[in-house]
Structure 1
Amino acid sequence: MVATVHVVDQGGITATRDPHYIGVAYHVLEVAAVLVAVLLLIGRVRLGWLLAVGVAVGPLLGYILSRGPGLPDYRDDMGNWTEPLGLVSLAVEGALLLLSIPLFFHSWRRRT
């Protein structure tokens, strides 16, 4: 779901947002989110849940920085705290974070 929200936000799989580093960050996030799903499906749960924490925290931090102080060469979203797709993104990433942290620690305790 995290990947889907960000693909929609950037305008499609082949689109890249400006500035370039933002577009690259979107693509890295999308690939990482798909990788999380694959890892969990093939049974690599500890690594999958750990990466899921990063997939959740990264965009949450990006949301706060892009709307608060702003990012270098990227001022489009400054102050835009109530954008509908941004709020959906916060909900999805927040849910993933709340799910992935305890499941990562559970998988850690089970194996050690």
Structure 2
Amino acid sequence: MRDVSAGAQSVGELDFARLCREYGLPEPDRQTRRRGPDGVWYLDNEWTPYNAVVEIEGLHHLEAAQALADASRQNELTIDRSRVLRIPVIGLRLSPDHYMSQVARLLRSAGWRG
């Protein structure tokens, strides 16, 4: 219940929160709000001190309109100096070691000492 009250919006995001704890990663802020050129965005997971974002992507992210919006948002975040990892839910379920290793490497490259 703590994850739901902390802002997780989907089962994939709940799985990611659990995996962060299991892999000893710092707790991200969830559903952080950013203003972009086309409105307000909500980011699934953000570590503000490290300029790091992880977006958990369900099946709907493969739809053309959503894929275009995702690409534009990621580009804008990159321009603003955030680094974004996009993790498909199916990848998180089938290969958690692979994706959580990438998250850990991203955070370490930004100065996390864990």
Larger-gyration structure (1/2): 1
- Relative contact order higher in (CA < 8 Å, ≥ 6 apart): 1
Higher strand share: 2
Is the TM value for this pair above 0.5?
no
Scaled by the length of structure 1, what TM-score is found? 0.29
Higher helix share: 1
